Amino acid sequence: MKRFLLALLTVAVLAIGLVLWLGLREDDSHPSTTPDVASAELVARGAYLARAGNCIGCHTARGGQPYAGGRAIQTPFGAIYASNITPDRETGIGAWSADDFWRALHNGKSRDGSLLYPAFPFPNYSRVTRADSDAIYAYLQSVPAVRQINRAPELDFPFNQRWLLVGWRALYFRPEVYQPQPAQSAEWNRGAYLVQGLGHCSACHTARNVFGAQRQELSGGIIPMVNWYATSLTGEHGAREWPLEDLIAFMGTGVSMQGSASGPMAEVVRDSLQHLQDDDLHAIAVYLKSLPPDEVTPSAEQPLPGPEHKAFLQRGARVYEKHCVDCHGADGRGEPPHFPPLAGNRSVLVPVPVNPIRLLVHGGYPPSTEGNPYPFGMPPFGNLLTDEEAAAVLSYIRNAWGNRASVVASPQINRLRPVMID
């Protein structure tokens, strides 16, 4: 019995040791080569890379100073507030070195060694090269310093116990810089590097498990607590199915012949993608179009609505004729790029119809970009349609002109009538 207990204790100690090693280890094999005094060229390069990473998107609160933090990142476990990354020495990163900054991006640890919550997408940023990290650091050290004290996370127990991140990291995180694939072109590798690393596309476009870890990469999923569905970039009607020029236009201007950006994606286009160089947008598009398809494409598996839905869909057709046909056409083809097509539109066919519900009820606009400075918007119909009418017209749209998707029920409309404010 004693031998058994000793063996059991040994196994437990070894298991704890392995978890601690995996959860706390760091990769310090990438020393900085950046000079002490940053050149104007390095700062400019860092500014471009910070745009590619959309650092301003999270680290700027609505109405706040750029990069001063304070924006709430809502998670299923509570709110985590983005930190101040201006060069203020007391409340920002002015006292940080390039090594400290690299430690945060690559290893997911703050300057003092505390573990960062993965609401900061260090699992993606870990793939960024040391040279690019140093350039971003040089740029952030050049922006105006703002004194703004960081706000502590507001997380439910036990998720407010930061030490538990050791186990999460042991299971789901390995620091690694992106390694180019020799069988692929330089352009493909550039696109993969931007999508997987700085662009952190999987942070939204990948479903998460109960612990907040990403599952099948880029296969789409609900953005937690925001009530928007980030569509699959690999499945039916995904990016791989779009013509290359439409995908580039969508990223660069927010509109294309296939559809327009709305919700969180409109913000990404406005703050990040529209500022990328044409060759980088082309590289991203080439990479996305090369991705293998999902094993399951939910919209393709939807059965035809049964006879019990006939009157419901006919009611939806009447609502469509009254409110939608002028812009989107009787055939659902619209007048792209300003009035997107509804026939075959992936935003219409998403398996979880939160996006079309929100757009119908609350309206929405593509971002104002240099390539599309005066966007046409979708007016809100929430004050004109009952829950039943809204559900009927969306069900009709999702099953007309060759579309096939589940019908929408009025309780789904009712749940999404309130607007979440950042």
pLDDT of residue 347: 83
How much is the average pLDDT of 56-63? Answer: 94
Segment among 57-66, 88-97, 233-242, 387-396 with least mean pLDDT: 233-242
Residue 303 scores a pLDDT above 70: no
Rounded CA separation 285/283 (Å)? 5
pLDDT of residue 21: 46
pLDDT of residue 196: 96
Rounded to the nearest angstrom, the gap between the alpha carbon of residue 385 and the centroid of all alpha carbons in its chain is 31
pLDDT confidence tier of residue 361, bands split at 50, 70 and 90 = very high
The two most distant CA atoms of the chain are separated, in Å, by 82
- For the chain, give the mean pLDDT: 88
Residue 397 scores a pLDDT above 70: yes
Percent of the chain at pLDDT exceeding 90: 66
Rounded CA separation 36/38 (Å)? 6
Structure tokens at 405: 């998707």
Q: If we measure between CA atoms, which residue out of 134, 140, 114 comes closest to residue 60?
A: 140
How much is the average pLDDT of 336-349? Answer: 88
How much is the average pLDDT of 301-306? Answer: 60
Q: pLDDT by residue (tens digit) across 207-229?
A: 888 888 887 788 888 887 677 88
Residue 2 scores a pLDDT above 90: no
What is the SS3 assignment for 419?
A: coil
pLDDT confidence tier of residue 421, bands split at 50, 70 and 90 = very low
pLDDT of residue 225: 65
Residue 365 scores a pLDDT above 60: yes
Rounded CA separation 122/213 (Å)? 12
Residues 397, 316: contact at Cβ < 8 Å? yes
Owner of token pair 């790029």 = 337
pLDDT of residue 240: 76
Segment among 35-44, 162-171, 235-244, 318-327 with least mean pLDDT: 235-244
pLDDT of residue 346: 81
Rounded CA separation 113/125 (Å)? 17
What is the SS3 assignment for 2?
A: helix
Residues 71, 422: contact at Cβ < 8 Å? yes
Rounded CA separation 105/116 (Å)? 10
* pTM recorded for the entire structure: 0.88
pLDDT of residue 208: 86
What b/e readout covers 209-238, taking b as 16+ CB neighbours within 10 angstroms? eeebebeeebbbbbbbebbbbbbbbbbbbb
The dihedral formed by the CA atoms of 316, 317, 318 and 319, expressed in degrees to the nearest 10: 50
pLDDT of residue 120: 95
Rounded CA separation 358/210 (Å)? 25
How much is the average pLDDT of 258-265? Answer: 89
pLDDT confidence tier of residue 35, bands split at 50, 70 and 90 = low
Q: Strands, DSSP E only, in 203-290?
A: 221-223, 228-230
pLDDT of residue 299: 43
Q: pLDDT by residue (tens digit) across 131-162?
A: 999 999 999 999 999 999 999 999 989 988 99
Residue 22 scores a pLDDT above 80: no
How much is the average pLDDT of 10-21? Answer: 52
pLDDT of residue 220: 83
Rounded CA separation 57/119 (Å)? 13
DSSP H helices in 108-243: 122-125, 130-140, 165-172, 186-193, 202-205
Residue 37 scores a pLDDT above 90: no
Rounded CA separation 67/77 (Å)? 24
Percent of the chain at pLDDT exceeding 70: 87
Q: What separation in angstroms does the CA of 42 have from each of 36, 93, 319, 420?
A: 12, 18, 56, 39
Residues 168, 211: contact at Cβ < 8 Å? yes
Residue 69 scores a pLDDT above 90: yes
Phi-psi group of 348: left, alpha or beta (phi > 0 → left; psi -120 to 50 → alpha; rest → beta):
alpha
Rounded CA separation 227/38 (Å)? 42
Sequential DSSP letters for 104-120 = HHHH-B-TTSPBPPTTS
Phi/psi of residue 335, each to 5°?
Answer: -135, 75
pLDDT confidence tier of residue 44, bands split at 50, 70 and 90 = very high
Position with higher pLDDT, 7 vs 399: 399
Residue 360 scores a pLDDT above 80: yes
Owner of token pair 């299923």 = 76
Phi-psi group of 291: left, alpha or beta (phi > 0 → left; psi -120 to 50 → alpha; rest → beta):
beta
Sort 301 into a burial class: Cβ within 10 Å, 0-12 / 13-18 / 19+: exposed
pLDDT confidence tier of residue 25, bands split at 50, 70 and 90 = low
